[in-house]
Amino acid sequence: MVCRQCGTEIAAKAIICYKCGAATATPAPARRVSPGRGAGAKASAYNTWLIAAVIAILAGAIWWWMRYR
C-alpha cells in the first residue's frame, strides 16, 4: 500500500508508515478517539488502582513480617 501521508510504498500489513509514522489503518486511530478511549482510560485507571492496592498489601505484609518474625 501507499502511505496517505507521504506517499511512500509500505508493507500492506504495516500499521504505521516507517518513513513518516502516520497510521495506515483507519480503525486504530478511530478506536482511540471514540468510546474506546474512555473505556481504555477507565480500565487503565482501574489497573493502576489494582496495582497500587497489591503493592500496598505486599508492603503491609512485608512490614508485619519484618516486625514480628
Tell me the β-bridge partners of 23: 16
Question: In angstroms, what CA-CA distances link 25 with 22, 37, 38, 43?
Answer: 9, 17, 21, 24
Considering the complex, state which of residue 9 and residue 67 has its C-beta at the smaller distance from Zn ion: 9
Tell me the β-bridge partners of 16: 23
Which listed residue (1, 2, 14, 19) binds Zn ion by CB under 5 A? 19
Q: Which stretch binds Zn ion (CB under 5 A): 9-17, 25-33, 45-53, 54-62?
A: 9-17
**Residues contributing to the site for Zn ion (CB under 5 A):** 3, 5-6, 8, 17, 19-20, 22
